[in-house]
């Protein structure tokens, strides 16, 4: 027989929500129906592997905290692995937008790594080339941008500084109705774009920073914005810390090859079934490069990424 619970004790309230910010193991969740409040959340048990964008089941604790009981199945989850650890960047996203620029010069290697990781998770991508007002530097990257366009990647060109209004409109067209993860090396102008779209971001960042006690380093966490002065209705934007590394050890060599739009078409046409497309005899990828159908720099970057995937000794 059930006994009445002692006075003042209530059954724990269960709810669902979304992880809206993360800083390492520390998380903030937005509980469905509590639109203005972010609760501090801890993951129960050993499972701390959740990230921004995850839908979660929660037990509410008081008015400001929650415990994550479980993570709902994900549509996708963008990851990178550095120094032997796989890090979850964001889940359930509609696209990954990579911000780059000519000054300082972006790393094409980091770009291809992000593009490959996104392709494996079947996340569409968007390249945002900012700072077009730095005309000389932009002119130098324009040939590479055209190459990526020819491979099927959409490229937006804009200048937050010189043409803020046009930039807002360009971005709005690509962000509408989708959840976009914004990525970029530091210095590329990512924060400037976030602040252009969401002038409230700076204040929100301070509040989140305090809640997550991440101190003054305001860009060391991921956070999701689902509203903002210039964010189209129904759009969400996830800002992420700038990165210098983007390891792909979590991918298999085969996943990597299939993720590259200029290598994938040649797969299956090499003499050897386990060809790694270095300089094996009868390699169709190599032949494509010799014919000029595959950009030599892209092939060199593929070989560097291949090293990541072979580190773990995963089967081909
Ligand atoms: N000339 C120019 N500079 C920009 C533009 N956008 C950002 N910057 C500058 O680039 C530097 C890095 O910008 P920031 O947004 O902090 O980059 P983040 O590290 O990617 O977040 C800052 O000095 C910005 O003022 C732009 O459109 N044109
Ligand atoms: Mg920044
Ligand atoms: Zn080959």
The per-residue pLDDT for range 4-58, each reduced to its tens digit, is 555 556 677 999 999 999 987 789 999 999 877 899 998 876 656 899 999 999 9
Task: pLDDT band for 113, please (50, 70, 90 cuts).
Answer: very high
> Is residue 112 domain-shared with residue 59, that is, in the same domain?
no
**Percent of the chain scored above 90 by pLDDT?**
81
Q: Let me know if residue 8 belongs to a domain.
A: no
Task: pLDDT band for 76, please (50, 70, 90 cuts).
Answer: very high
Domain extent at residue 24: 13-71
Q: If you average pLDDT over every residue of the chain, what do you get?
A: 91
pLDDT surpasses 90 at 218: no
Among the three residues 49, 71, 93, which one is the final residue of a domain in this structure?
Answer: 71
> Is residue 183 domain-shared with residue 86, that is, in the same domain?
yes
Q: Let me know if residue 316 belongs to a domain.
A: no
* pLDDT value of residue 82: 86
The per-residue pLDDT for range 227-279, each reduced to its tens digit, is 999 999 899 999 999 999 999 999 999 999 999 999 999 999 999 999 999 99
pTM score, whole prediction: 0.92
> Is residue 21 domain-shared with residue 139, that is, in the same domain?
no
* pLDDT value of residue 57: 95
Q: What is the CATH number of the domain that holds 128?
A: 3.40.50.300
More confident residue, 213 or 288: 288
Task: pLDDT band for 207, please (50, 70, 90 cuts).
Answer: confident
Q: What is the CATH number of the domain that holds 262?
A: 1.10.40.50
pLDDT surpasses 90 at 112: yes
Q: Let me know if residue 266 belongs to a domain.
A: yes
Q: Let me know if residue 247 belongs to a domain.
A: no
Task: pLDDT band for 115, please (50, 70, 90 cuts).
Answer: very high
Are 10 and 45 in contact, with CB atoms under 8 Å apart? no
> Is residue 177 domain-shared with residue 49, that is, in the same domain?
no
What spacing in Å lies between the alpha carbon of 54 and ligand 2's midpoint? 23
Residues with CB under 6 A from ligand 1: 130-131, 133-134, 159-161, 184, 186-192, 242
> Is residue 191 domain-shared with residue 122, that is, in the same domain?
yes
More confident residue, 200 or 157: 157
* pLDDT value of residue 11: 73
Q: What is the CATH number of the domain that holds 54?
A: 2.40.50.140
* pLDDT value of residue 1: 46
**Percent of the chain scored above 70 by pLDDT?**
91
> Is residue 222 domain-shared with residue 112, that is, in the same domain?
yes
Q: Let me know if residue 170 belongs to a domain.
A: yes
Atom of ligand 1 nearest to the CA of 130: 27
Q: Let me know if residue 193 belongs to a domain.
A: yes
> Is residue 119 domain-shared with residue 220, that is, in the same domain?
yes
* pLDDT value of residue 213: 66
> Is residue 101 domain-shared with residue 179, that is, in the same domain?
yes
Q: How many domains does the chain have?
A: 3
Q: Let me know if residue 67 belongs to a domain.
A: yes
Among the three residues 55, 71, 87, which one is the final residue of a domain in this structure?
Answer: 71
Q: How confident is the model over 171-192, as a mean pLDDT?
A: 97
d(CA 68, CA 42): 6
> Is residue 130 domain-shared with residue 173, that is, in the same domain?
yes
> Is residue 81 domain-shared with residue 192, that is, in the same domain?
yes
Closest C-alpha to ligand 1, atom 3: 131
Q: Which of 157, 192, 193, 220 to mutate to test the pocket of ligand 1 (most atoms within 8 A of CB)?
A: 192
User: Which residues hold their Cβ within 5 A of ligand 3, which is an ion?
Assistant: 270, 275, 277, 283, 285
pLDDT surpasses 90 at 212: no
Closest C-alpha to ligand 1, atom 26: 131
Among the three residues 71, 99, 119, which one is the final residue of a domain in this structure?
Answer: 71
> Is residue 54 domain-shared with residue 198, that is, in the same domain?
no
> Is residue 200 domain-shared with residue 268, that is, in the same domain?
no
The per-residue pLDDT for range 116-165, each reduced to its tens digit, is 999 999 999 999 999 999 999 999 999 999 999 999 999 999 999 999 99
Q: Let me know if residue 1 belongs to a domain.
A: no
More confident residue, 301 or 49: 301
* pLDDT value of residue 6: 55
More confident residue, 111 or 10: 111
């Amino acid at each position: 027989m059930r006994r009445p619970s002692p006075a003042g004790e209530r059954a724990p309230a269960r709810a669902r929500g979304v992880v809206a910010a993360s800083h390492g193991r520390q998380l903030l969740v937005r509980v469905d129906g509590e639109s203005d409040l972010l609760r501090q959340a801890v993951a129960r048990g050993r499972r701390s592997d959740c990230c921004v964008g995850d839908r979660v089941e929660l037990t509410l604790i008081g008015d400001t905290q929650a415990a994550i009981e479980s993570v709902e199945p994900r549509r996708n989850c963008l990851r990178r692995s550095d120094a032997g650890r796989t890090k979850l960047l964001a889940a359930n996203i509609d696209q990954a937008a990579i911000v780059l620029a000519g000054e300082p010069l972006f790393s094409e290697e980091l770009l291809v790594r992000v593009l490959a990781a996104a392709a494996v998770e079947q996340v569409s991508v968007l390249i945002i080339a900012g700072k077009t007002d730095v005309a000389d530097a932009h002119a130098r990257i324009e040939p590479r941008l055209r190459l990526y366009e020819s491979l099927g990647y959409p490229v937006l060109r804009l200048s937050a500084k010189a043409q803020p209004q046009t930039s807002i409109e360009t971005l709005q067209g690509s962000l509408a109705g989708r959840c976009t993860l914004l990525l970029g090396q530091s210095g590329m102008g990512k924060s400037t774009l976030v602040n252009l779209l969401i002038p409230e971001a700076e204040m929100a960042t301070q509040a989140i920073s305090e809640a997550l006690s991440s101190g003054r380093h305001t860009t060391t966490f991921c956070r999701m914005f689902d509203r903002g002065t210039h964010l189209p209705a129904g759009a969400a934007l996830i800002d992420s810390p700038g990165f210098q590394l983007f390891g792909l050890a979590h991918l298999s060599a085969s996943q990597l090859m299939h993720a590259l739009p200029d290598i994938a078409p040649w797969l299956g046409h090499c003499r050897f079934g386990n060809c790694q497309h270095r300089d094996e005899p009868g390699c169709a990828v190599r032949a494509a490069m010799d014919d000029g159908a595959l950009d030599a720099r892209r092939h060199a970057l593929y070989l560097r990424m291949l090293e990541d995937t072979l580190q773990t000794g995963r089967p081909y």
